[in-house]
């Protein structure tokens, strides 16, 4: 095993910056290259982090020093870039959403499997210390059999801020998908079945366009999901609420827990959790490097996260049909 994983980052925008900082903070991974179509932006990032700058994907993938890539580009670009990286013999960490369709998710999974390479998805909430604590407490039966989980994520996200063109692609359904589902939803839908370690079997959802900010795109969704173990989870999201809320309640047969930010309370008493959500990206990238170096599957593998993307697709379809959707519709052939 080498001392560290040598990586290239595809994309030099906002989320790439989080990856770059976390790479720099970990001792089992090192940056050797970065690629972006904007020469000025990629040049500045490459100089800051001491890496080689590329403005095209092909030369980065041909760089023999690059053992793995981080894909940090707009959503619709993920699938083709992941497939190209796998075919070039690189391990891949792709930012959420994994892809905008399950067909693309399957292409990504299959390409990495054929190449014998790791495929991990940036489901950073799985790597928050408090998330790990909650999952372990549920698995250990500390609140008994979970029957109900409700989670809210209310925020205001302006896709067209004054003086900036960097967010306009969020209004393009072909490039970004429905923003509330595919920008913020991948975290929220993923964490529900992950907490319970129980896949979703049925989804019933409704969406609405509360304002005209997203120009005909639904900006708010609420979904009710039935899990294989019998639990019911409810997720309510919006990107047009000026007063934010990000919290959850989990009710079990022996007790209940509540989470607001990093503050976890169980049966009314606060639980001490070592570490904070700010460590999530660093924890995630450390696991990616370790899995690549040791040849083992990450927690947020492509196969695991495919289920989360299927749940999102089911929520979208349920709202369109105005009827519950069975997850069996999305099983692989």
Alpha-carbon gap, residue 214 to 217, rounded angstroms: 5
- The reply to whether 289 falls in a domain is yes
Q: The domain that contains 24 carries what CATH number?
A: 3.40.50.720
CA distances 155 to 39, 94, 177, 241, 312, Å, are 33, 24, 18, 5, 19
Instruction: Specify whether the CB–CB gap between 298 and 117 falls below 8 A.
Output: no
Instruction: Specify whether the CB–CB gap between 144 and 253 falls below 8 A.
Output: yes
| 194, 249: one domain | yes
pTM over the 0.85 mark: yes
| 213, 75: one domain | no
| 177, 87: one domain | no
Q: The domain that contains 240 carries what CATH number?
A: 3.30.360.10
Beta strands 146-156 and 200-208, pairing class: unpaired
| 13, 86: one domain | yes
Q: How many domains does the chain have?
A: 2
2-40 pLDDT per residue, tens: 579 999 999 998 999 999 999 999 999 999 999 999 999
Count CB atoms within 10 A of the CB of residue 211: 14
Across the beta sheet with 29-35, what order do the strands follow?
52-54, 29-35, 5-10, 68-71, 91-95, 119-122
**Predicted local confidence at residue 312, as pLDDT:** 98
Can you give the residue range of the structural domain that contains 35? Answer: 5-123+282-298
| 25, 61: one domain | yes
Instruction: Enumerate residues 6+ apart whose C-beta is below 8 A from 111.
Output: 82, 83, 86, 87
**Predicted local confidence at residue 163, as pLDDT:** 56
| 191, 208: one domain | yes
| 100, 141: one domain | no
Beta strands 29-35 and 5-10, pairing class: parallel
| 34, 88: one domain | yes
User: H or E element: which one contains 110?
Assistant: helix 102-115
Report residues of the chain scoring pLDDT below 70. Answer: 1-2, 162-166
- The reply to whether 9 falls in a domain is yes
| 114, 232: one domain | no
Cβ-based burial of 56 (10 A; exposed 0-12, middle 13-18, buried ≥19): exposed
| 169, 221: one domain | yes
- The reply to whether 303 falls in a domain is no
150: β partners: 234, 249
| 187, 289: one domain | no
**Predicted local confidence at residue 298, as pLDDT:** 98
Instruction: Specify whether the CB–CB gap between 152 and 212 falls below 8 A.
Output: no
**Predicted local confidence at residue 165, as pLDDT:** 62
- How many CA atoms are closer than 13 Å to the CA of 65, on its beta-carbon side? 14
Across the beta sheet with 263-266, what order do the strands follow?
269-271, 263-266, 256-260, 240-252, 146-156, 232-238, 220-227, 200-208, 325-326
**Predicted local confidence at residue 51, as pLDDT:** 98
| 131, 228: one domain | yes
**Predicted local confidence at residue 1, as pLDDT:** 41
């Amino acid at each position: 095993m080498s001392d560290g994983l040598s990586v290239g980052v595809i994309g030099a925008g906002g989320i790439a910056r989080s990856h770059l900082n976390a790479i720099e903070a970990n001792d089992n991974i090192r940056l050797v290259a970065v690629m972006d179509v904007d020469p000025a932006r990629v040049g500045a990032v490459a100089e800051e982090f001491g890496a080689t700058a590329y403005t095209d994907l092909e030369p980065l993938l041909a760089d023999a020093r690059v053992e793995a890539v981080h894909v940090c580009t707009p959503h619709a670009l993920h699938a083709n870039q992941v497939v190209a990286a796998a075919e070039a013999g690189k391990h891949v960490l792709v930012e959420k959403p994994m892809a905008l369709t399950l067909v693309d998710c399957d292409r990504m999974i299959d390409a990495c499997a054929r190449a014998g390479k790791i495929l991990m998805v940036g489901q950073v909430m799985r790597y928050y210390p408090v998330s790990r604590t909650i999952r372990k407490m549920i698995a250990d039966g500390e609140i008994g059999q979970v029957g109900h989980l409700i989670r809210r994520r209310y925020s205001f996200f302006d896709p067209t801020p004054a003086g900036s063109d960097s967010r306009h692609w969020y209004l393009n359904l072909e490039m970004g998908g429905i923003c509330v589902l595919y920008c913020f939803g991948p975290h929220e839908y993923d964490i529900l079945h992950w907490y319970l370690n129980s896949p979703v079997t049925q989804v019933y959802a409704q969406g609405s366009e509360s304002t005209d900010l997203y120009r005909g795109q639904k900006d708010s969704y609420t979904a009710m999901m039935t899990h294989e173990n019998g639990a019911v989870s409810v997720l309510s999201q919006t990107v047009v609420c000026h007063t934010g809320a990000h919290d959850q309640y989990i009710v079990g047969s022996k007790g209940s827990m509540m989470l607001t930010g990093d503050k976890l309370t169980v049966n009314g008493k606060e639980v001490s959790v070592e570490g904070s959500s700010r460590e999530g990206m660093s924890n995630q990238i450390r696991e990616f490097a370790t899995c690549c170096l040791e040849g083992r599957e990450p927690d947020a593998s492509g196969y695991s996260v495919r289920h989360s993307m299927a749940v999102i697709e089911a929520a979208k379809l349920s709202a369109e049909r105005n009827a519950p959707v069975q997850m069996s519709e999305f099983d692989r052939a």
